[in-house]
Structure 1
Amino acid sequence: MTGEAVTGRRLPDGWGFLVLPLVAFLLVVFVHPLISVLARSLSDPEPGLGNYAAFFDSPVYLDVLVNTFVVAGLVTLVTLVLGFPYAYLMTLATPFWRGVLMAAVLVPFWTSLLVRTFAWVLILRDTGVVNEVIGALGGQPVPLLRNLAGVLIGMVQVMLPFAVLPIYATMRGVDRRLLQAAEGLGARPAFAFWRVYAPLTLPGVAAATLLVFVSSLGFYVTPALLGGPQNVMIGELIVQQLSGVLRWGFASALAVILLVVTGVLLLLAARVVDLRRMIGGGR
């Protein structure tokens, strides 16, 4: 009887050691920075939990944390509302128009985020294109900059491809003959779509939700340029603490708090929904 059979475990062969460079890379660029941030939050300017106490003792900082999750939630909701029908349209389009729609989704990846955000500043300002059109139609200028509306518009535009692509990938694997079968059995088209087709796209919707929501929590450039003092997100606050007042320990504590709260929310979501199954990671 071999040692492998005795232990009941597979011993790594020569190919298994190829993962070691990847593990070393993750330790250097991911694990080590996280440990450093945690250590600094507990030691700078003095050892202890002073940075965390300062955060939870101030309602201003708590409001920033709440605003961060509210904005991320709104961005996720709007992105899904826009991305779901867009992805569905891609499944119905001819190959040529499907390519055009896919190109429209991928083009933002080829442009700098900073450039796109400055473009939104020019478009949404009081003398921008949007308000010029509203004025030409006889309406009054609408404030779209330095408020929540501007932040949502800018962030949704950035995150929309991250919702469309996973939803479209899931929709491509759904057999449309199921809709025809449901309609053949007497279901109305709308009923067949929402009761038969839509549930089969939930893995893509779940993946898009997680990707957009978690990514939106760390935004800095877009809310900093398009938002106002009432729409500060925790990413902006971290940069302010680092570059403005040089509170490195407090900024590290903010990063740790954001990471922990995000992890807790994901764990709570996992108790309600099987996230591994929804995103295709398990059965």
Structure 2
Amino acid sequence: MKRSTVMTAALLILPLSYIAVFFVVPLLSAVGASFGLPDFSVDSYRRLLEVKVYQLVFSKTLFVALETTIVCLALGYPTACFVASLSPRRRAVAVGLIALPFMLSVLVRNYVWMAMLQDTGIINNWLVGWGIVEQPIKLMYNELGVVIAMVNMLTPYVIFPVLASLLAIPRDLHTASASLGANRMATFIRVTLPLTAGGTAAGCLITFIVALGFYVTPAMLGGPSQMMIANLIAFNVKEVLNWSFAFALATSLLGATIVLYFAYRAVVPRGVALKAA
């Protein structure tokens, strides 16, 4: 065996061991527990498929995640285009401002949104004070409040991949497109949009997957009526102590995430997917 191969294997032992101990083993344990091992049983999965309430929770989670992703894309793509048009110094400042909320705890940001969205919060006080509405609008403990907060937290996941794709486009392509008589809209549709497809798809995929597992925001801003899969898992772990069913929910969520990833790899061309990554 070559010395370089031995050295490479030696260097990989520690990170691979870490991944095996802290990721692979717990994951396999969770999957096994969902089947009630050592006594094999599919009762938890059968219950998941037969009880309509759990199907509604899954559909609610998927819909909220999809809704959040669409709004994040609608806000994030134009923002990325604007940031890409700035000078390098101003772009660095803009990127820092976009990344700044990541330095705050998710819990803190949710408390801020609670202060803004409640009936006596900042937004409703402004709307009533300006005479736009007569009574406060219900912005909390419903789907609207959850989506608003989730969009605020997840939009950067769309902005950064799209921005990376935009910055990778050679300026000469836009110049060549203009020299051939294409206006800005035609250049955007025929040049910019196709070349940023990989970054856009990657950003949407990341946003959707992260949104599927949101726990704190639906619990604080949505209430019991806006329960998502993560909240249902926590309920079964802390309240009813049904660990097997909780593991089945978690495994189903993991399976949905894996399916989405492979669907992304199947739809997005391999070269484009690699560039986006």
Q: Look up the SS of the partner of 2:35 in the other structure.
A: helix
1-structure distance, mates of 2:187, 2:262: 33
Q: Look up the SS of the partner of 1:43 in the other structure.
A: coil
* Post-superposition CA distance 1:160-207 (Å, at most 9, x none): 222111211121111123122212211121111121112111121122
Among candidates 197, 212, 234, match of residue 239 of structure 1:
234
Segments of structure 2 that go 5 or more residues without pairing to the other structure are: none
Query: Is 2:273 aligned against 1:279?
Result: yes
Query: Is 2:77 aligned against 1:103?
Result: no
**Which shifted more, 48-57 or 12-21?**
12-21
Task: Give the aligned partner of residue 197 of structure 2.
Answer: 202
Does the 8 Å contact 1:146/1:228 carry over to 2? yes
Does the 8 Å contact 2:198/2:268 carry over to 1? no
2-structure distance, mates of 1:143, 1:44: 46
Among candidates 181, 187, 201, match of residue 186 of structure 1:
181
Does the 8 Å contact 1:44/1:248 carry over to 2? no
Does the 8 Å contact 2:198/2:275 carry over to 1? no
* Post-superposition CA distance 1:92-141 (Å, at most 9, x none): 11334323311211111111110000110010001111111110121132
Instruction: Name the amino acid aligned to 1:279.
Output: A
Does the 8 Å contact 2:110/2:220 carry over to 1? yes
Query: Is 2:122 aligned against 1:166?
Result: no
Instruction: Name the amino acid aligned to 1:25.
Output: Y
* Post-superposition CA distance 1:39-58 (Å, at most 9, x none): 11111796411111111110
Shift in CA distance, 137/44, structure 1 to aligned 2, threshold 3 Å: farther
Does the 8 Å contact 1:124/1:130 carry over to 2? yes
Structure 1 residue 11: Cα displacement? 8.2
2-structure distance, mates of 1:177, 1:233: 47
Structure 1 residue 279: Cα displacement? 2.6
Q: Percent of counterpart pairs with the same letter?
A: 36
Task: Give the aligned partner of residue 111 of structure 2.
Answer: 118
2-structure distance, mates of 1:206, 1:72: 15
Among candidates 203, 215, 222, match of residue 220 of structure 1:
215
Structure 1 residue 271: Cα displacement? 3.3
* Post-superposition CA distance 1:219-269 (Å, at most 9, x none): 100111111333211000000111111111110010011111222233344
Segments of structure 1 that go 5 or more residues without pairing to the other structure are: 5-9
Query: Is 2:127 aligned against 1:148?
Result: no
TM-score (norm 1): 0.90
Task: Give the aligned partner of residue 31 of structure 1.
Answer: 24
Shift in CA distance, 13/215, structure 1 to aligned 2, threshold 3 Å: same
1-structure distance, mates of 2:57, 2:161: 30
Does the 8 Å contact 1:206/1:278 carry over to 2? no
Q: Look up the SS of the partner of 2:5 in the other structure.
A: coil
Q: How many residues align?
A: 274
TM-score (norm 2): 0.92
Q: CA RMSD in A?
A: 2.1
Among candidates 224, 229, 243, match of residue 229 of structure 1:
224
Shift in CA distance, 190/182, structure 1 to aligned 2, threshold 3 Å: same
1-structure distance, mates of 2:85, 2:265: 33
Instruction: Name the amino acid aligned to 2:221.
Output: L
> Deviating runs (4+, > 6 A) in structure 1?
none
**Which shifted more, 250-259 or 261-270?**
261-270
Query: Is 2:264 aligned against 1:256?
Result: no
Query: Is 2:87 aligned against 1:94?
Result: yes
Q: Look up the SS of the partner of 1:280 in the other structure.
A: helix
2-structure distance, mates of 1:161, 1:83: 7
2-structure distance, mates of 1:41, 1:79: 33
